[in-house]
Structure 1
Amino acid sequence: MEPVRTCVGCRARAPRSSLLRVVEQGGALVADEKAVLPGRGAWVHDTSACVDAAIRRRAFGRALRVSGPLDTQTFQNTHQRNG
């Protein structure tokens, strides 16, 4: 049975394999495509709608338990180019 995670963008539950893991490194969001980077991770559908919703609602900061501001610009630009 595959693990289930909740998307921080749309709040829907989905199998782990259908979500993208995102971690914080040096104050910036980084996509963890292989789900092996250290640290706390947040899970999001790899769609512009879910990523934009999570950024707009500041869900990444809460999910990753980061107290300061996160640099989402690089992650957003990379995601829009790929997705």
Structure 2
Amino acid sequence: MVAVRTCVACRKRAPRTALLRVVAHEGQLLADDRAVRPGRGAWVHPTAHCLNQAVARGVFSRALRVSGKLDAGPLENRLKTRMDN
């Protein structure tokens, strides 16, 4: 049986392997490629469109149940590096 998750940006369901797990750590959004970091995670398609949509709508704070604005810079840099390769 394949694990299925929902993208927090576009709300489409996809296999866990097709999505990127994101966690909040010290006010920053970090990619959790191996899905082993502690804490609550949010799943997003590893595309610029879904990431931009999620950041613009502020869904990461809600999905991760943290208050305040989270810095998406490290996640955006990681995703840009991943798309360039």
- Please give the TM-score of this superposition, normalised by the length of structure 1: 0.93
Aligned Cα RMSD in Å?
0.9
Task: Tell me the number of residue pairs that the alignment of Structure 1 and Structure 2 aligns.
Answer: 83
| CA drift at 1:75 | 1.4
% identical aligned pairs: 55
1:33: how far off? Answer: 0.3
Offset at 1:82?
Answer: 2.2
Deviation at 1:17, TM superposition (A): 0.9
Query: How far apart in 1 are the matches of 2:20 and 2:74?
Result: 16
Three-state SS of the structure 2 residue aligned to 1:79 is helix
Which is richer in strand? Answer: 1
Shift of 1:7: 0.2
SS in 1 for 2:30: strand
Corresponding position of 1:29: 29
Q: CA deviation at 1:37?
A: 0.3
Structure 1 gaps of 5+ residues are none
